[in-house]
Amino acid sequence: MSDKTYAIAAQFDSAKDLFHAAEKVRDKGYQSWDVHSPFPIHGMDEAMGLKRSRVSLFSLIGGCCGCLTALFLVYYTGKIDYPLIVHGKPYFAFEPCFPIFFELTILITAFFTVGSMFVLNLMPRFNHPVFNWDKFAQATDDGFFVVIEAKDPRFQSEQVTENFLKEIGGKNVSRIEE
């Protein structure tokens, strides 16, 4: 494995071929790999063995933080900092404060969701080595690709990975440099 090799990539003829290739790569035990196609392929997450995203957990945490922030803000200002009886309501009334709870919950949830997507997707990354591969321009038109990264623990040598991709039906198997 050369120091400049980022990955070994192969092109497949159809979405069906790519789907079956993804299952074979998953079954072989590769962990750092990805598929690229011009459109979403139903069931590809399962074929790749991907787990559920953690973004929803961060969204839930953000929603809880937003709601608690609103609760603290309304309670502190209405009952402790500036207690004022308006229209005979108690110092802390839930009904008139509901829009504040709602808005802060939604706002903080959105911030946590977008922030977690940036962190979990390792963004911002303005250029990816796969973009330098001459065949990759077809990924938005009619290309179906499997890319196995060299940092994968199962990546033994370029020749072994190339032969594996050819065995599962890959065409135009080539090396992608960093």
Q: pTM here?
A: 0.72
The CATH 3.30.70 domain(s) of the chain lie at 5-52+127-177
pLDDT at 1: 46
Beta bridge partners, 176, equal 7
| Alpha-carbon dihedral 128, 52, 113, 107, rounded to 10 degrees | 160
Give CA–CA dist 136/144, Å, rounded: 9
Residues whose CB is less than 8 angstroms from the CB of residue 149 and which lie 6 or more positions away in sequence, other chains included:
6, 7, 32, 33, 34, 155
DSSP 77: I
- pLDDT tens digit sequence for 129-138: 888 888 888 8
Looking at domain 5-52+127-177, its CATH architecture is 2-Layer Sandwich (3.30)
Q: In order along the chain (178 residues), what is the average pLDDT of each group of 10 residues?
A: 78 94 94 92 92 93 96 89 81 84 96 94 82 83 90 85 92 88
- By three-state DSSP, how is residue 68 classified? helix
